[in-house]
């Protein structure tokens, strides 16, 4: 008794950033996420969150909420123990609303694991119970970026991710200045599609010559430019990752087949839980590395990714810092201190 989904509700919640967060595709001072509340017929509640991204995924809150009745038709009356059956239907119905799919699937797993009396990270495999995240510095002045980098190092972070992709010379200068205060710790640089192939190569060359420890060069060129990504991968010394180019398992399959990537950045908001699980197994089979990232999830939404990452134990790098950049009250199902997230 009590395993069937009685109702599912959607509500918009707004979060303010501590300061404006800027990437090559634009800036924001706040985010509005869709919070999902699913109730089983015994009253058990599962929570999930969808953080849509217009600039990366082309999703709007409004277009995603347009699928509310479709989701209700699929999930209401279903037994959460048969989650694969529900997920398969959501994979099809929400193929243009990936963040919503992630939120709904997350709410289903939250309810299922509460009923089972296990934690979500155990549901995903229980591989680890502690993970370490990086922290992201947006596109800002060199002086401000250096100040932020120092502050994060003082807080114990061992990996700094920095957004680039606007002007490769200025970007390189800023990265060198950041590295100067964080070395020999590692950096992830993320262009969010902002460079041409040549700019990406020139940018990476400067960093390589100056000895910057770049763990990953993320999405240097347009998401649609697979040939360009391959060329960058062949020409630069650093591991190259696809992020904005990978949503479904089929995107991952194509990039792996083409030999276009060293790493894939999985985000539940792009793939949902179902495609993220498929990409994990595919990448491991193909010897492609994995990192996990986020959109603008609050601590509620990031909690699912923290459990997914720890449970699968599949990721070399974790970029699960979004809630740390918000002004919000912590609601995640994990403990944290600086860069360490603990599951128990």
Active site residues: 163, 267
Judged by CB under 5 A, how many residues of this single chain contact Mn ion?
A: 3
Stretch that binds Mn ion, among 29-37, 210-218, 271-279, 303-311 (CB under 5 A): 210-218
**Tokens encoding 56:** 């990366």
Smallest separation, CB 265 to Mn ion (Å) = 6
Smallest separation, CB 307 to Mn ion (Å) = 21
Return the residue nearest Mn ion (CB atom). Answer: 243
Note whether 195 and 220 are within 8 A (CB).
yes
Here's the x/- map for Mn ion, 225-264, by CB under 5 A: it reads as: ------------------x---------------------
Count CB-CB contacts under 10 A for residue 44. 18
What is the C-alpha separation between 48 and 46, in angstroms, rounded? 7
> Which residue's CB is nearer to Mn ion, number 22 or number 115?
22
Q: Is 321 a residue that touches Mn ion (CB under 5 A)?
A: no
Stretch that binds Mn ion, among 170-178, 182-190, 198-206, 268-276 (CB under 5 A): 182-190
Note whether 300 and 35 are within 8 A (CB).
yes
Note whether 77 and 4 are within 8 A (CB).
yes
Smallest separation, CB 292 to Mn ion (Å) = 11
Q: Among 134, 140, 190, 231, which residue interacts with Mn ion (rule: CB under 5 A)?
A: 190
Q: In what order do the strands lie in the sheet with 335-337?
A: 130-132, 340-342, 335-337
Q: Which of 25, 247, 229, 220 is nearest to 138 (CA)?
A: 25
Stretch that binds Mn ion, among 84-92, 147-155, 188-196, 220-228 (CB under 5 A): 188-196
Smallest separation, CB 219 to Mn ion (Å) = 5
Q: Is 35 a residue that touches Mn ion (CB under 5 A)?
A: no
What is the C-alpha separation between 270 and 57, in angstroms, rounded? 7
Count CB-CB contacts under 10 A for residue 335. 12
* DSSP characters over 293-306: --SS--HHHHHHHH
List residues near Mn ion by CB under 5 A. 190, 218, 243
């Amino acid at each position: 008794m009590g395993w069937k989904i009685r109702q599912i509700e959607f509500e918009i919640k707004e979060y303010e950033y501590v300061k404006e967060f800027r990437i090559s595709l634009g800036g924001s001072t706040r985010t509005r996420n869709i919070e999902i509340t699913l109730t089983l017929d015994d009253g058990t509640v599962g929570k999930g969150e969808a953080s849509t991204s217009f600039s990366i995924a082309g999703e709007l809150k409004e277009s995603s909420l347009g699928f509310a009745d479709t989701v209700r038709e699929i999930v209401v009356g279903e037994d959460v123990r048969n989650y694969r059956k529900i997920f398969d239907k959501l994979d099809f119905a929400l193929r243009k609303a990936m963040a919503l799919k992630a939120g709904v699937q997350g709410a289903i797993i939250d309810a299922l694991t509460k009923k089972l009396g296990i934690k979500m990270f155990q549901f995903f495999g229980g591989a680890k119970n502690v993970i370490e995240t990086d922290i992201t510095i947006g596109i800002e002045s060199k002086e401000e970026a250096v100040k932020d980098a120092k502050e994060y190092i003082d807080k114990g972070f061992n990996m700094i991710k920095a957004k680039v992709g606007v002007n490769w010379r200025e970007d390189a200068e800023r990265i060198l200045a950041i590295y100067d205060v964080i070395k020999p710790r590692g950096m992830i640089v993320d262009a969010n599609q902002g460079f041409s192939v040549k700019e990406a190569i020139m940018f990476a060359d400067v960093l390589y010559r100056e000895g910057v420890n770049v763990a990953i060069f993320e999405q240097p060129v347009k998401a649609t430019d697979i040939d360009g990504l391959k060329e960058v991968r062949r020409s630069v010394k650093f591991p190259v990752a696809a992020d904005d180019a990978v949503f479904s398992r089929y995107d991952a399959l194509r990039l792996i087949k083409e030999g276009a990537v060293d790493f894939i950045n999985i985000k539940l908001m792009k793939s949902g839980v179902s495609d993220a699980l498929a990409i994990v197994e595919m990448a491991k089979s193909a010897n492609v590395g994995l990192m996990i990232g986020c959109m603008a999830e609050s601590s509620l939404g990031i909690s699912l990714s923290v459990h997914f990452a720890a449970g699968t134990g599949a990721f070399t790098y974790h970029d699960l810092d979004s809630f740390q950049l918000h002004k919000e009250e912590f609601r995640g199902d994990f403990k944290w201190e600086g860069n360490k997230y603990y599951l128990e």
